[in-house]
Amino acid sequence: MTIDREELFSIIAHLNDQKVREDPETFLTLIQFAIESKHKEVKAAQKALKILSGYFKDHPNYFISLTNIGIEAKCHKIAAESVNLLAAKYIHEPDFLATLKTIAVNSKTSGGAAAVRVIVKHFLGDSQTFDILKLIALKGKYYAHSEAVLALGKHYSQELETLSLITLLKHNQIWGKSSIVVAISENFPHEPENLDLLKTLAMSDCNGASDAVWAIAHYYRDHPEILSWLKTFALRNSKGALSAVKAIALGLKNSQGKFIQHFRDYPESFLTLQTIAFEASCDQVAQIALTAITLYFPEHPETFLTLTNIAFESPSNKTRQIAVGAIAWQSKNNSSNSLPLKIFRRRHLKAIWYLTRKYFRNEPESFYPWKSIIFEDFNKRITQEAISDLGVIFKNHPETFSTLKTIALAHPCKWSARRALWVMSDHFNNDPETFSIFKTIALKHSSDLVAELATWLIGRMDRDFTNNPETFSVLKTLAMKHPGYRVASEAARFLGVYYRNHPEIVALESPLRCHYIYRGVIIPETYGKIPLENWQPHWLLTETNAEVRRVLIQGIGYEKICQELNAVTLDRYREYSLVKIHIPQERESIVLLKMTCPSTGHIHILRVPPESVDAREAITWINWGIDPEELAIET
């Protein structure tokens, strides 16, 4: 029996009808929809559950139906919510623990995990709980099994022995091995037989391999053979290989995020990473080792030779690209290994930057690949991402501010320069040199777009300008003398808002006194000194500046323009009129659709494309392609 959304929504629409609620088919339809709905229909299925819990909570089959949903529902979220609804109403029923056990053992979705969580929350003190959790750990499916193992390790570590967990490990599916490894490592980390078990798991392809590697790296980090073990794990093509090379390259952190071990500080770490880079069967593992060598051992005598050999010999095209990118970066930052930069392509630096950004973004040594990417400027989006990262990831790096300064002043891409200004404003606004840089860029930068942003940031730095006379001086200079219209307009706008009554401005006999601002545009004194409601449409016929004409049209309004500039009627349709206004300086005439409301007499005007000649077509354009006749029928 397949239930579609239309049938469900029909039931929802008629729920106020008692006959619909009493119809047995209604209840069955809601249950069936909740069971059969998939993830993309989760909202509709949640609505069905809400109706069940609201209108049918006293139905004789309510309990058994929600139990079936918890076991059989295809959507994880619906299965879990049905279990929570059961718990909300039946938690104090004498046989409810047995029901939860049934759901946990038989459910293949998150309903089983939800049942285990309810057991742990409400029945930890029950004498049956330990045995029930062990049964779920042995026979449960997927999520329920994992949740039960973690619960056993957390709440019953005294009752458990390592051998019990190993028994679970041998008798259960791959899905839950990760949880068992976590339980073993957290509760019995230093028992001798566990090390061999964890090493076996670390080299397997089960879901617990990665957790086993981290457990060994964490609990046995002071063991003299730890690097050798991690190298062995990294060289195997297993799920633990990536975790092993990350442990070597990035180190270990505690729960507060602080490093507790840097394996790269060990004397043999370079040779370990070099071996992994050459011999790892997984490309990603080799690439991480290669990047770690580049970042942490730039002065090592064998680094350059290692990168060169991998660039020529690696079977992986991506690994070769990263090696060449590493050589390029080495050549830029190490004159002893200098090579002609023309042999490198932008994709090489891009490859090493992507890997660095993914795995080494919090390492101080990563700053230089970031810097190389920014000044290569091979892709606008990536370059601007890298500039933004300077303020977020490398805010405390000693070279960050000077790098941003260089980008803002000299980067060939104006958009990159603007992004550098934003980063400086967001993260270095209190630095005394920031104002000086903004001032220099506003006065001297070749791009008006960059200078305009610098001007705006100068104004934003100090909202109370009375305490910063230098800000006033800079804005006045920019407004009066800057050749760029955008920059002068932005400076005048700040002066007009914050310095309108400043004595220097009031007494000043200069063009600055003639600067009036309307909607961010400087307009002549002849317009600005007249109140907005007295602006005249005939000004449009003589004004030559397109930006000023645009704000004049906005200020005057189409209705007043139509009345006084003798608009020509092109077509009519019912209460609509299509009119045309010709302004000599405009390249295209202004075509407007005017509608007079029959009941109130109010006039509404909207602008339509200049090629419009038919009123009905213009209405269709306004209505996003819907013909007015169709609109009238729908209404």
**Does the structure show a pLDDT above 80 at 116?**
yes
Q: Render pLDDT for 312-346 as a digit per residue (tens, 0 to 9).
A: 888 888 888 778 777 766 665 554 444 444 444 55
Q: Is residue 579 part of a domain?
A: yes
Domain final residue, candidates 136, 156, 176: 156
Q: Could you read off the pLDDT of 249-258 as tens digits, one per residue?
A: 888 776 566 6
CB atoms within 10 A of CB 20: 16
* Residue 501, pLDDT score: 60
Residue with token string 């991998």:
310
**Phi/psi of residue 544, each to 5°?**
-95, -20
Q: Quick check: is 263 in a domain?
A: no
Residue 258 lies in a domain: no
Q: pLDDT digits over 27-38, tens only?
A: 888 888 888 888
- Using the predicted structure, report yes or no on whether residue 25 has a pLDDT greater than 90: no
Burial class (CB in 10 A: 0-12, 13-18, 19+), 564: middle
Determine which helix (DSSP H) or strand (DSSP E) holds 491, and give its type and residue range: helix 485-498
Q: Does a structural domain hold residue 623? A: yes
* Residue type at position 273: L
Q: What pLDDT, on the 0 to 100 scale, is given for residue 100?
A: 92
Question: Quick one: average pLDDT of 492-504?
Answer: 66
| Predicted local distance difference test score (pLDDT) of residue 241 | 87
pLDDT at residue 115, as a whole number: 93
The model's confidence at residue 473, banded by pLDDT at 50, 70 and 90, is confident
Report the number of distinct structural domains present in the chain: 2
| Rounded percentage of the chain residues whose pLDDT exceeds 70 | 77
> What's the confidence (pLDDT) of residue 103?
92
Mean pLDDT throughout 523-536? 77
Task: Give the list of residues 6+ apart from residue 433 with CB closer than 8 angstroms, or none.
Answer: 401, 405
CA dihedral 606, 610, 611, 614 (to 10 degrees): 30
Region 415-431: mean pLDDT is: 86
* Burial environment of residue 221 by CB neighbours within 10 A (0 to 12, 13 to 18, 19 or more): middle
DSSP string, 404-450: HHHHHHH-S-HHHHHHHHHHHHHHSTT-HHHHHHHHHHHHH-S-HHH
Q: Of 103, 122, 156, which residue constitutes the final position of a domain?
A: 156
Picking from 156, 191, 226, the residue at the C-terminal end of a domain is 156
Residue 11 covered by a domain: yes
Q: Does 189 reside within a domain?
A: no
Q: Is position 524 within any domain? A: no
The overall average pLDDT reported for the chain is 77
> Once rounded to an integer, what is the mean pLDDT over residues 472-491?
75
- Minimum mean pLDDT range among 189-203, 433-447, 599-613: 189-203
Q: Does the pLDDT value for residue 526 go beyond 70?
A: yes
Average pLDDT estimate for 446-471: 74
Residue 135 lies in a domain: yes
155 falls in which pLDDT band (50, 70, 90)? confident
Which of 74-88, 285-299, 587-601 is predicted with the least confidence, judged by mean pLDDT?
A: 587-601
Domain extent, residue 611, equals 557-634
Instruction: Report the first-to-last Cα separation within the chain, whole angstroms.
Output: 38
* Predicted pLDDT at 102: 92
Q: Which residue has the higher pLDDT, 164 or 426?
A: 426
